[in-house]
């Protein structure tokens, strides 16, 4: 554990106290040393936090608000921002996020924050849900199509949640038997959790984070169909099979990246506020902060679709 002291709050930043944070696939691949970046790094971005102070230039956010954050700075002025693709902002690497969220506090640029309806832990899924909503907007799955979701991890379960909300039927294939049983009880009867994908699908989402998952997606999408992957495969594969797997088949292929417009975060937060329920609560596990190391080590084989880590007790629960 490293400690750093807090400095004077800059005018446009908001000081937050983290309550809960999910383990993203990108955190996991970083933890496992699969990314070509400089270590040490601070991890965690899928969080719920409470505002404790605001800089003097911040409007519309006050202490006591509950918030989550987008990953990227959006300058609102570059060509991508102006064209509605602000997730690709030319300045998105500016990094105005002073810390990551397996920490006590951070000072975050106010423009990153999305207001939440409450401190409930499932709001930690806002950012990953915003990413699958962006992918889904491109795929446009409809109820009369055969839809396949590969992988029931954090992203797969978020997509399943969104598809169930719209009553768009789908199959979700998951290789871990206990995780498959977990997602099965949440998606039925709209969706169906399967051991194997059979036949052809009109649209396939690969959210497996694995080469085998991407290969399965390529094998199962029908010719003329749509294939959308969110797997980055850091350090796993060169994916050199990809062109051969898709060639001569007229496949529309998208490598979907984060969440599109800034408003997608608000859409995701609103969807969680509207439709999350006790059934979906079963797909997440919540571990205390002192089990952070083992939470990361166990994530790949966890029976739960997503692991959230409780960083601090919510307001009202504090003794
Ligand atoms: Zn993430
Ligand atoms: Zn920009």
Per residue in 129-175, pLDDT (tens digit) is 999 999 999 999 999 999 999 999 999 999 999 999 999 999 999 99
Closest ligand to residue 77's CA:
2
Paired residues of 284 in beta bridges: 306
pLDDT at 319: 44
Closest ligand to residue 85's CA:
2
Residue partners of 60: CB distance under 8 A and separation at least 6: none
d(CA 107, CA 112) in angstroms, rounded, equals: 11
DSSP 314: P
Pairing of strands 105-109, 13-22: antiparallel
pLDDT tens for residues 262-296?
899 999 999 999 999 999 999 999 999 999 999 99
The whole-chain average pLDDT of the chain stands at 92
Closest ligand to residue 46's CA:
1
> How many angstroms separate the first and last alpha carbons of the chain?
24
Ligand 2 centroid – CA 260 distance (Å) = 12
* 7 — pLDDT class (breaks 50, 70, 90): confident
Ligand 2 centroid – CA 90 distance (Å) = 5
DSSP 38: P
pLDDT of 51 strictly over 50: yes
């Amino acid at each position: 554990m490293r400690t750093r002291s807090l400095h004077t709050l800059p005018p446009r930043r908001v000081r937050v106290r983290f309550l809960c944070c999910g383990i993203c696939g990108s955190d996991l691949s970083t933890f496992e040393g699969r990314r070509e970046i400089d270590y040490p790094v601070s991890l965690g971005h899928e969080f719920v936090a409470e505002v404790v102070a605001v800089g003097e230039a911040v409007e519309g956010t006050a202490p006591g608000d509950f918030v989550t954050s987008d990953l990227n700075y959006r300058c609102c002025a570059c060509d991508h921002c102006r064209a509605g693709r602000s997730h690709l902002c030319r300045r998105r690497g500016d990094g105005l996020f002073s810390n990551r969220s397996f920490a006590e506090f951070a000072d975050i640029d106010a423009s990153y924050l999305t207001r939440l309806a409450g401190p409930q832990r499932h709001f930690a899924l806002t950012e990953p849900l915003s990413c699958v909503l962006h992918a889904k907007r491109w795929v446009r799955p409809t109820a009369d199509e055969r839809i396949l979701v590969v992988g029931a991890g954090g992203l797969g379960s978020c997509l399943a949640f969104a598809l169930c909300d719209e009553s768009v039927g789908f199959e979700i294939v998951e290789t871990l038997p206990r995780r498959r049983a977990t997602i099965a009880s949440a998606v039925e009867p709209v969706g169906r959790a399967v051991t194997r994908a059979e036949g052809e699908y009109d649209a396939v989402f690969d959210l497996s984070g694995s080469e085998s998952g991407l290969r399965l997606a390529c094998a199962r999408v029908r010719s003329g169909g749509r294939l959308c992957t969110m797997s980055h495969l850091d350090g796993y594969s060169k994916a050199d099979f990809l062109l051969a797997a898709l060639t001569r088949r007229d496949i529309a292929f998208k490598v979907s990246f984060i969440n599109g417009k800034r408003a997608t975060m608000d859409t995701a937060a609103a969807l969680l506020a509207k439709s999350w329920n006790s059934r979906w609560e079963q797909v997440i596990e919540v571990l205390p902060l002192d089990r952070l190391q083992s939470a990361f080590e166990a994530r790949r084989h966890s029976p739960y679709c997503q692991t959230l880590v409780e960083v601090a007790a919510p307001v009202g629960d504090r003794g």
